[in-house]
């Protein structure tokens, strides 16, 4: 490892806020290197972000600057370029590998900037490339990658075998919500207390909005996610000690009155760099080893971090900058205003009303509402995958380019034609009915596909299958359901209804 010179300033991005990003032993800058942070207003001006997201990022950056004290030069500028000029002139600067293609291209184009290795992930770019190239296949599968990570990092292993003898305990997980329950009944997740810095951020956001300089979607509310390392560690501790045990069985279940269920709510802290994924996995494993959590919950959580999160990060880089433009299904419909404006009451479908309401209030909802309600609806309606990606990116507190592109383009919109998943993730209303309490009060009926009561998801599902019948019929995992189209006596009626239906 090359030891950096102490005098070269290090530019810290807003999603590189944990101590590991500055650790020289982990590829970071010299321990005495001055730090530069740049708050660029143009980023907020370019897109309409959720207010809670803008607040969280600015709060986290300003809290980190306060912690670093005299070591940091914190510049508020219009653009990164201007901020950098103000901070270091034409002088040399180091920076950690940024987290988006655009940011990487930007720093690489600046001759004075030297890019240090990425941090905040378990596997390096070179290791992933070797793993992927070795597979010699067009399709990369998360499950294979996850097992390889478990082996190479010795997570939940006994010698060469997974603890308990099985890699995958999904069979014990993914249960519907407990019958009749309106809440899961687990202790509430950690919530931070706001500081003076939050008050300053709120005043700035109010002023910029009043001046017409920036515009937001979503509600302003007390900050709900950690902005400091201390808060993030408290959130991790609370999850591991009080909520992990119930994570597995109900990780896919949805209850209208319990938005968080037993989820960790750690995504924003991980993506801001406040937590390191290894420490999250290790603490969960330690909890299981001490008898404090069952294996199915622990394995389910470890799979999310060491499997999915890590896989998504590497897919983003491995597939390259043009992956975001994929549109295998040629979907081009624009997003309706009620969706982009997060107006939950504009639509009669209770599932969408509830979930959009959660996003509006907090900038967060858990995985199944993202995938099987918001994403599934967009896929069924044929919305443009790039616009859907942009919407998710702007509306979620944990949304960053690297994580949104694979999750939306690949996983939720099937726009890559199956490079990342074996089949489209979408369903008729019956799945939502089984996994949630949302259908009972809805004006539609999940079992009905034609007429006044027709569930938009049920009708939309068959409509989507019909639209892409030829492509899906060639997918071994879809052949059976595509054949189901032939057994629908009212297919023509359904297609006509969906052609005319406006949401
Ligand atoms: P938990 O359910 O407690 O899971 C633990 C951790 O696993 C999460 O904190 C997260 O870091 C990680 N994780 C699990 N699945 C994924 C995944 N598919 N991709 C990346 N990390 C994962 N996650 C984001 O971090 N940012 C996003 O912008 C984002 N957008 C998504 C968009 C769509 C359409 C879909 C289907 C998923 C998206 N996800 C995203 C993944 C996942 O839904 C969220 O990470 C999770 O809901 C965050 O809540 P949590 O921290 O309570 O997660
Ligand atoms: Fe959603 Fe259909 Fe259930 Fe209504 S009936 S909540 S639209 S899945």
Query: Mind listing the pLDDT tens digit for each residue in 439-498?
Result: 999 999 999 999 999 999 999 999 999 999 999 999 999 999 999 999 999 999 999 999
For residue 409, report the distance from its CA to the centre of ligand 1, in Å.
15
* Cβ–ligand 1 contact at 277 (below 6 Å): no
Q: What is the pLDDT of residue 138?
A: 64
- 346 falls in which pLDDT band (50, 70, 90)? confident
* Cβ–ligand 1 contact at 244 (below 6 Å): no
* Cβ–ligand 1 contact at 403 (below 6 Å): yes
Q: Is the pLDDT of residue 137 over 70?
A: no
Q: Using CA atoms, how far apart are residues 32 and 5, in angstroms rounded to an integer?
A: 9
Specify the pTM. Answer: 0.97
From the list 46, 42, 31, 117, the residue with the least C-alpha distance to 76 is: 42
Q: Using CA atoms, how far apart are residues 401 and 392, in angstroms rounded to an integer?
A: 10
Domains defined along the chain, listed by start: 10-116 (3.40.50.620), 125-191+228-319 (1.25.40.80), 325-500 (1.10.579.10)
Q: What is the pLDDT of residue 7?
A: 82
Query: Mind listing the pLDDT tens digit for each residue in 376-424?
Result: 999 999 999 999 999 999 999 999 999 999 999 999 999 999 998 889 9
Q: Which of 142, 189, 267, 363 to mutate to test the pocket of ligand 1 (most atoms within 8 A of CB)?
A: 267
* Cβ–ligand 1 contact at 265 (below 6 Å): yes
Q: Is the pLDDT of residue 261 over 60?
A: yes
Q: Which long-range contacts (CB under 8 A, 24 or more apart) does 166-173 make?
A: 167/143, 168/143, 168/299, 168/303, 169/248, 169/295, 169/296, 169/299, 169/300, 170/300, 172/248, 172/249, 172/296, 173/248, 173/249, 173/251, 173/252, 173/296, 173/297, 173/300
Q: What is the pLDDT of residue 391?
A: 97
| Segment 108-131 mean pLDDT | 95
For residue 233, CA distances in Å to 96, 270, 323, 355 come to: 23, 11, 34, 28
Q: What is the pLDDT of residue 134?
A: 85
Query: Mind listing the pLDDT tens digit for each residue in 38-82?
Result: 999 999 998 999 999 999 999 999 999 999 999 999 999 999 999
DSSP secondary structure letters along 132-166: HHHHT-S---HHHHHHHHHHHHT-SEETTEEGGG-
Which ligand does the CA of 436 lie closest to?
2
> Which residues neighbour 281 within 8 Å (Cβ) at sequence distance 6 or greater?
153, 155, 302, 305, 306
Q: Which of 407, 408, 412 to mutate to test the pocket of ligand 1 (most atoms within 8 A of CB)?
A: 407
Q: What is the pLDDT of residue 1?
A: 47
Q: Using CA atoms, how far apart are residues 15 and 25, in angstroms rounded to an integer?
A: 20
Mean pLDDT estimate for the chain? 95
Query: Mind listing the pLDDT tens digit for each residue in 478-490?
Result: 999 999 999 999 9
What sign has the CA pseudo-torsion 73, 79, 80, 86?
negative
Hey, what are 138's tokens?
């067009």
Q: Using CA atoms, how far apart are residues 71 and 158, in angstroms rounded to an integer?
A: 44
For residue 398, report the distance from its CA to the centre of ligand 1, in Å.
8
What sign has the CA pseudo-torsion 472, 475, 477, 483?
positive
Q: Report the side by side order of strands in the sheet with 113-116.
A: 72-77, 35-40, 10-11, 93-96, 113-116
Q: Which of 176, 256, 347, 350 to mutate to test the pocket of ligand 2 (most atoms within 8 A of CB)?
A: 350
Which ligand does the CA of 460 lie closest to?
2
| Segment 146-153 mean pLDDT | 97
Q: What percent of the chain has pLDDT over 70?
A: 98
DSSP state of 95: E
| Segment 332-359 mean pLDDT | 93
Q: What is the pLDDT of residue 139?
A: 74
Hey, what are 20's tokens?
């590991």
Which has more pLDDT, 139 or 336? 336
């Amino acid at each position: 490892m090359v030891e950096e010179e102490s005098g070269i300033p290090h530019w810290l991005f807003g999603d590189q806020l944990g101590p590991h990003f500055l650790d020289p032993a982990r590829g970071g800058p010299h321990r005495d290197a001055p730090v530069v942070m740049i708050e660029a207003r143009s980023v907020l001006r370019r897109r309409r972000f959720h207010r809670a997201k803008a607040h969280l990022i600015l709060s986290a950056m300003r809290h980190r600057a306060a912690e670093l004290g005299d070591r940091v030069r914190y510049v508020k500028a219009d653009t990164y370029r201007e901020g950098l000029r103000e901070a270091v002139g034409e002088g040399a600067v180091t920076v950690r590998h940024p987290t988006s293609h655009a940011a990487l291209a930007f720093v690489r184009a600046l001759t004075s900037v030297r890019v240090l290795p990425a941090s905040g992930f378990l596997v390096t770019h070179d290791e992933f490339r070797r793993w992927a190239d070795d597979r010699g296949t067009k399709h990369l599968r998360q499950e294979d990658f996850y097992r390889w990570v478990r082996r190479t990092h010795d997570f939940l292993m006994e010698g060469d075998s997974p603890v308990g003898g099985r890699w995958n305990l999904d069979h014990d997980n993914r249960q519907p919500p407990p019958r009749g329950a309106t809440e899961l009944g687990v202790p509430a997740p950690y919530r931070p207390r706001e500081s003076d810095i939050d008050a300053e951020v709120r005043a700035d956001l109010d002023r910029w909005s009043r001046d017409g300089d920036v515009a937001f979607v979503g509600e302003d509310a007390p900050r709900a996610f950690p902005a400091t390392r201390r808060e993030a560690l408290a959130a991790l501790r609370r999850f591991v000690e009080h909520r992990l045990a119930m994570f597995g069985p109900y990780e896919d279940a949805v209850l209208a009155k319990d938005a968080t269920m037993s989820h960790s709510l750690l995504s924003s802290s991980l993506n801001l760099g406040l937590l390191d994924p290894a420490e999250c996995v290790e603490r969960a494993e330690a909890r299981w080893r001490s008898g404090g959590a069952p294996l199915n919950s622990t394995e389910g959580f470890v799979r999310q971090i060491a499997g999915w999160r890590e896989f998504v990060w590497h897919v983003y880089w491995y597939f390259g900058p043009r992956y975001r433009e994929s549109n295998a299904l040629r979907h081009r419909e624009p997003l309706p205003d009620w969706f982009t404006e997060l107006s939950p009451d504009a639509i009669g479908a209770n599932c969408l009303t509830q979930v959009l309401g959660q996003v509006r209030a907090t900038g967060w909802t858990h995985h199944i509402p993202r995938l099987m309600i918001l994403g599934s609806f967009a896929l069924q309606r044929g919305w443009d995958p790039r616009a859907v990606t942009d919407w998710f990116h702007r509306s979620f507190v944990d949304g960053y380019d690297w994580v949104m592109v694979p999750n939306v383009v690949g996983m939720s919109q099937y726009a890559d034609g199956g490079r990342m998943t074996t089949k489209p993730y979408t369903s008729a209303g019956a799945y939502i009915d089984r996994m949630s309490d949302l259908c009972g009060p809805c004006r539609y009926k999940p079992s009905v596909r034609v007429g006044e009561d027709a569930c938009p998801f049920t009708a939309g599902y068959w409509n989507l299958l019909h639209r892409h019948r030829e492509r899906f019929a060639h997918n071994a995992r879809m052949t059976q359901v595509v054949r189901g189209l032939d057994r629908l006596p009212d297919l023509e009626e359904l297609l006509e209804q969906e052609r005319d239906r406006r949401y």
